[in-house]
Amino acid sequence: MKIERRFTTAGKDAYEGVAFRTTVSEIKNPDGSVVFRRDDVEVPASWSQVASDILAQKYFRKAGIPAVRRKVEENDVPSWLWRETPDDAAIAALPVGERTIGERSARQVFHRLAGTWTYWGWKGGYFDAEADARAYYDEMCYMLACQMAAPNSPQWFNTGLHWAYGIDGPAQGHHYVDFKTGKLVRSKSAYEHPQPHACFIQSVADDLVNEGGIMDLWVREARLFKYGSGTGSNFSKLRGENEPLAGGGKSSGLMSFLKIGDRAAGAIKSGGTTRRAAKMVTVDIDHPDIESYIDWKVVEEQKVAALVTGSMLASKHMKAVMKACVEAKPDLGDAAFEPTANPPLKAAIKAAKDSMIPLNYVQRVIQFARQGFTEIDFKVYDTDWDSDAYLTVSGQNSNNSVRVTDEFLRAVEAEGDWKLIRRTDGKVAGTVRANELWKRSRTPPGPAPTRACSTTPPSTTGTPARPAAASTRPTRARSTCSSTTPPAIWRR
């Protein structure tokens, strides 16, 4: 390829005319405590604080970069494009705490990205001459600095760590296509051929532990989440609840496995940072468990509401019971713990009962008061998206959608019935009203009236991550909405 310069000049610095500034980036908890802070972040002067924070908090390699490196000479590569590797001798002479560093400048990130792309291009014979390779490197650095172009997150996370810093690790199960042979090859290390792709579509079979099955999918998803990518699957092949198993038992159903995958995704920090894993789930509209799937997040939101409200009421009334006991103790002695002798305690117990506080908790508080305790500390939950209340419930780490067909939509228009099909034998598992199921899947959310919609063709494999090239059924693409829906009480 012949690369013509548009923004840079040969022989001059790629950033000539681009001003840089030093800024501060920090993350705080709701209570004001500092989670992350860096005072020496260098970014282009034109960048907003949001862009600067994303780079510093998410995309900088914060640790593990060898403090001293040396060039790896390659006769068929220009010297300015040689990759680097740790200088072990020089590093050994440094104090232990100074042997590794982290990125602090946007220039470092631009260099490892553009440098790696240029290195790969050179190795693949893409450039007509060295001048074209240099032009490509300079132009990419300039465009990244000026926000004219930007790669996806896995590129920011992973690309260039091996080329620029010599960072590597054991193979993680990735594969790549060897550009020389055109064959699929298993990676021998973690970063020499990194995972730079944003989204993956993965199939899953109705098999518990074998390759391509349910548990194998969690391993594959973890691999993708670890390096910052997202993944989606259509789970419609999994048999529904109570469908027969080969051993004579009954299946626990689709939802039991979706909850496992949801928990696994929530435990992994995407790209090794604080960003959540990107997980997509879709299920065909004729699955036996489709109603439970649609209501999944609805029910979990109701659980959060119950946890928050219940914890607040429990804390309030149990403190009132404790106060009634403590204040009456000097005058009544042990009678202070008897509601018949202590009117304020009787009133506090009645108020707690009226608020549906379990009596065993009320009795526990009274027992604590008898033992000499003067106050009670009961954890109160809140509705913050990252709070313990949401960490307690399931369905918080996946974007859910439903795949519909023309046949289903015609049933909706005709106000007809819709059959739910068993996955094991193709028999009818049950029949529902099509329009009721449609309304159920499109109910506006509760406290936060938003929903994610996507246009995807119906399929029994694939995912809603992007439209598939072909469908397993001769139907048109249909707009479907995610089941991040609200409590049923909001339904019309």
pLDDT digits (tens, 9 = 90+) for 389-430: 999 999 988 899 999 999 999 999 999 999 999 999 999 999
Dihedral over alpha carbons 124, 226, 63, 104 (to 10 degrees): 70
Residue 272's pLDDT band, with cuts at 50, 70 and 90, is low
Round to whole Å and give the CA distance between 239 and 425.
Answer: 10
Q: In whole angstroms, what is the distance from residue 426 CA to residue 349 CA? A: 56
Token readout for 288 is 């036996």
- The CA angle 217-218-221, to the nearest 5 degrees, is 85
| pLDDT tens, residue by residue, 274-302 | 556 789 999 999 999 999 999 999 999 99
pTM of the model: 0.79
Residues 430 and 212: their CA atoms lie apart, in Å, by 29
CA distances from 150 to 51, 214, 230 (A): 12, 35, 18
Percent pLDDT > 70 in the chain is 88
pLDDT for residue 463 is more than 70: no
Q: Which of 237-241, 281-285, 453-457 has the lowest mean pLDDT?
A: 453-457
- Residue 486: name the closest of 281, 259, 255, 301 by CA: 301
CA distance 418 to 434: 5
Token pair of 194 as six digits? 């990194």
Quick one: pLDDT band at residue 482, thresholds 50, 70, 90?
very low
Distances (CA, A) of 395 to 259, 279, 295, 399: 7, 11, 10, 9
Predicted local confidence at residue 433, as pLDDT:
97
Q: How far apart are CA 303 and CA 390, in angstroms?
A: 9
Confidence check: pLDDT of 478 > 60: no
Segment 153-178 mean pLDDT: 94
Lowest mean pLDDT among 212-226, 335-349, 478-492: 478-492
CB atoms within 10 A of CB 326: 15
Residue 205's region, left for phi above 0, alpha for psi from -120 to 50, else beta, is beta
pLDDT at 188 over 60: yes
Instruction: Give me the mean pLDDT over the 216-227 stretch.
Output: 93
**What tokens does 88 get?**
């072990």
pLDDT tier, 273 (very low <50, low <70, confident <90, very high otherwise): low
Instruction: Report residue 471's pLDDT band, with 50, 70 and 90 as the boundaries.
Output: very low
Strands (E), 118-205: 175-177, 184-186, 199-201
Question: What does the pLDDT read at residue 114?
Answer: 98
CB 385 within 8 A of CB 438: no
Per-residue pLDDT of 305-344, as tens digits, reads: 999 999 999 999 999 999 999 999 999 999 999 999 999 9
pLDDT per position as a tens digit, 123-146: 999 999 999 999 999 999 999 999
Task: Identify any residues that bridge with 313 across adjacent strands, giving them in sequence order.
Answer: none
Q: Check whether 480 has a pLDDT greater than 60.
A: no
What's the Cα-to-Cα distance from 338 to each of 316, 370, 376, 444, rounded to whole Å? 20, 11, 18, 50
Mean pLDDT, all residues of the chain: 88
CA angle, corner 60, sides to 133 and 78, nearest 5?
Answer: 20
DSSP lists the bridge partners of residue 430 as: 420
Q: Which has more pLDDT, 492 or 299?
A: 299
Question: Is the model's pLDDT at 196 over the cut of 60?
Answer: yes
pLDDT at 75: 95
Q: What is the pLDDT of residue 458?
A: 34
Ranked by mean pLDDT, which of 98-102, 170-174, 197-201, 394-398 comes out on top? 98-102
Residue type, 182: G
Q: 17-37, pLDDT tens digit by residue?
A: 999 999 999 988 777 888 889
3-class SS shares of the chain: helix, strand, coil, % to 5: 40, 15, 45
pLDDT at 470: 31
Evaluate whether 117 touches 140 at the Cβ level (below 8 Å): yes
Query: Residue 213: what residue type?
Result: G
pLDDT score of 467 more than 70:
no
pLDDT in tens, 83-120: 999 999 999 999 999 999 999 999 999 999 999 999 99
Q: Specify whether the CB–CB gap between 174 and 222 falls below 8 A.
A: no
Mean pLDDT, residues 467-491 taken together: 34
Is 22 in a helix, a strand, or coil? strand
Dist CA 486 CA 454 (whole Å): 18
The structure tokens 């631009």 sit at 110
Percent of the chain with pLDDT over 90: 80
Q: Is it the case that residue 460 has pLDDT exceeding 90? A: no
Q: Look at residue 481 and tell me whether its pLDDT is greater than 60.
A: no
